[in-house]
Each structure stands twice: as structure tokens, then as C-alpha cells.
Amino acid sequence: MATLAARIAEQGLKLLNEIAAEAWSLESFASSGLDRLPRLVASEVTTLSICDLARGRRTVFSAPNRAFSAGERAAFDAHFHEHPLVLYHSKTPGGSTHRISDSLPASQFRQTPLYNDYYRCVGLDHVMALPLYVDRRFLVSFVFNRKRRDFDEAERDALDVLRPQLAALFGQALSQERTRSLLAQLDALAAPGGWSAIELDGERRVVRASDATRERIEACWPHWKGGEGARLPEALDRWLQERLEGTENLAGAQASGSLTVGRSGKALRVRLVPNPASGGGFLLFVSLAVEADFPASAAGAALTPREREVLQWAAAGKTNAEIAAILDMSPRTVEKHFEHVFEKLGVETRMAAVMRLLAGSPRG
């Protein structure tokens, strides 16, 4: 017992850190745990078992060298609700790591249809489950299986020391999985002009973004590279930082807000909301509005690209302040652009400048 406890103390933290580094999806969390946990407590077959309590079915992540056949899965499911570990953990949500032998003697277990129809056929005699998650619908556990020799109390108690941390890592992986599913659904619904999403961590760095989202941001910032760990373009990152720094009440409302900013006749609209599946992270919803360009004309050719841009937003009904926010410039700079436009087009008002370009006629 003392020797095992010392080994747990020495290896447990390292094992948890290794699993944590790979807990970015259910599959990677399962693979990491199935590879490392048997090094701590010997197990001939180890699985991550997801039991659907409502349907009486089990989904299993297992090592590549031990896949379960359709017949073996059907035999287990036939006795699903009779399984001592399913019964114990579904009725004891806060229950600890548990062996079948904690519920009934081995001699009695070997007389059950579950053992004779399933465990005897797959060549296993003893089972222990470390629960990670349980609610009315699902029970999730790391399950350890051995032939002949049962798991002793020291092994059970040693694994139970790691249970809270492993449960937390599973919750993290589950949240990541749900976030990916949410983003995939949003991107599938995002028609041109609609909204797509980019996931950011608490340090304002990109966690993941779809191709549609990257294309919308790159339409305004062509040189932006939005890979994992990247910052948003400077104008967006500066606004985001201001929003986050303005959140003072830790227990109150979280940072949120919206912004419109753009370039080259395009407006990028963004909306910031907390990420419900990530503590401290955020989702930035992105939509791209493209304004109709003016027809080619001699009058338009006299303007610089920036002057045409300012005039395009004026044609869309934007005020000087709104144009300044969209194009990330000061209102005074917008006014100077209009002064140059009026002089080049020989007009005195914004409306007259717009009409001159729409008409496609030259000055004079």
C-alpha cells in the first residue's frame, strides 16, 4: 500500500499533465488516458465507456489492439441495465472508483447472464470503473478489466485520488467538442452576408476559425494570417482589448459588444460574446457587408481609392462619425477627404458628389 501510494505521488502529477496537454477533444483525451492510466494500475483491457442510460447502449473508446465486435457490443447491451457498475454509478452520481466485487462477490458475479454471455466470452473476469461524468442521460467512465486477479483496494483508492482531476479534464474536452459542434453549425448556416464565428481564448488569441471567417477578415486585411495562436488585426484587437479591460465585475456581466470596421468598400461587422463552453474565452461573430461600387467614369478616375471609399459610405447613408469608425480613421480625416472630393468633382455637397459619380459624367 505504501509503495503504491509513493508511486502514485511520483507519477500521478506527471500523468495528469500529459493527459491535460492532449485534452482538446474527446478522442484525444480518451487516447491519452487509455495510453497512460494502465501504466499506473495494470489493466489488460482499458476503455473509455460512454453509457447512454436512456437507451441502454454503450459507446466505447479502446486501444487499437482491442476493438469490440458488433456481437460483443450487442451482448453487453443486452444486459446493460443489469451491470453492477452501471447500477452503482447511475444511482450514485458522486460515487467513487468502484469494482464489481464491491457490489457482489466474484462467485455470484460468475453466475450472472452478464458474465456468461459477455465477460466470459471476451476473456475477462474483473472490472473496475473510474467515473468521470454522470447525469440523467449519460454515464462516462474509464473502465479497467483483468483476467483472474481482481483489483485490490490499494489500486482502487490510488485511481480515485486522480478522479477529480480526470473528471475536470474530461469536462474540458467535452466543452471543446461542444464548441466545435456549435461553430460548425453556425458556419453551415452562414450564407453570404450572414454570420460565422471565430473562437478566442482569454488572451485574445485565435483558438479556431473556419475558412469562411478567415476569408471575411482577410477581405479587409489581406495580409492577416489567422492561424492558431494569432492575434486579430490591430484595429480589431485594440477594440477587443478595450472591451475586455472594461469588464470590472468578476461575478457580473461579461465583456460583449459590437463594432463595424472596414476597408476597400467592405465593412466587417463583429459581435463579441462570452464563450459558454470555455472559462475566460470568447466567440467573435463576423459578418461582411460589401457596398456596391460606383460605375467607372472620368469623374471617378480623378479620385484616390480612399476618397472613393469615403464617398461610397456616404452613398450608403453613413455619417462622418460612422465612416470614421468603419474606416478606422478620425472624423477630421474624413472631412479632409470630402474637401478633396468636392474640389476634384466641382461640387459643394456630399449628395452632389454622389450623384456626379453615379451619373458617370465628368466635371464641367
Domain boundary among 123, 139, 174: 174
Q: Are 296 and 313 in contact (CB under 8 A)?
A: no
- Express each pLDDT in 276-309 by its tens digit: 666 667 888 888 765 545 555 655 667 888 888 8
In terms of residue numbers, what domain contains 260? 190-290
Length of the chain, in residues: 364
Q: Residue 140 burial by CB count (10 A; 0-12/13-18/19+): exposed, middle or buried?
A: buried
Q: For residue 257, what is the domain's CATH number?
A: 3.30.450.20
Give the CATH number, domain containing residue 325: 1.10.10.10
10 Å CB burial of residue 279 (0-12, 13-18, 19+) is exposed
Q: Which of 149, 174, 199 is the last residue in one of the domains?
A: 174
> Are 168 and 270 found together in one domain?
no
In a domain, 185, yes or no: no
Q: What is the pLDDT of residue 253?
A: 39
User: Which of 290, 320, 340 marks a domain boundary?
Assistant: 290
In this prediction, residue 265 carries a pLDDT of: 63
* Domain shared by 163 and 279, yes or no: no
pLDDT of residue 364: 42
Cα–Cα dist 131/93, whole Å: 9
Q: Which stretches of the chain score pLDDT less than 70?
A: 1-9, 65, 181-194, 246-256, 262-265, 276-280, 289-301, 358-364
Are residue 258 and residue 126 in the same domain, yes or no? no
Placement of cell 461587422 in the chain: 269
Report the number of distinct structural domains present in the chain: 3
86 and 112 housed in the same domain = yes
160 plus 210 within the same structural domain:
no
Residue pair 248/237 in contact (Cβ under 8 Å)? The answer is no
33 and 164 share a domain?
Answer: yes
Q: Does one domain contain both 231 and 144?
A: no
- Residue 237 and residue 114 share a domain: no
Name residues whose C-beta falls within 8 Å of residue 188's C-beta, 6 or more positions apart in sequence: none
Domain annotation covers residue 317:
yes
Instruction: Indicate which CATH number applies to the domain containing 45.
Output: 3.30.450.40
pLDDT score recorded for residue 87? 95
Q: Are residues 79 and 131 in the same domain?
A: yes
Positive or negative torsion for Cα 99, 103, 104, 110: negative
Claim to verify: residue 118 and residue 257 sit in the same structural domain: no
**Domain shared by 346 and 279, yes or no:** no
* Same-domain check for residues 26 and 161: yes
CB of 208 closer than 8 Å to CB of 170: no
Query: pLDDT by residue (tens digit) across 117-158?
Result: 999 999 999 999 999 999 888 999 999 999 999 999 989 988
Does residue 335 sit within a domain? Answer: yes
Flag whether the pTM goes above 0.85: no
Question: In the prediction, which pLDDT does 256 show?
Answer: 65
Please check whether residue 182 lies inside any domain of the structure. no
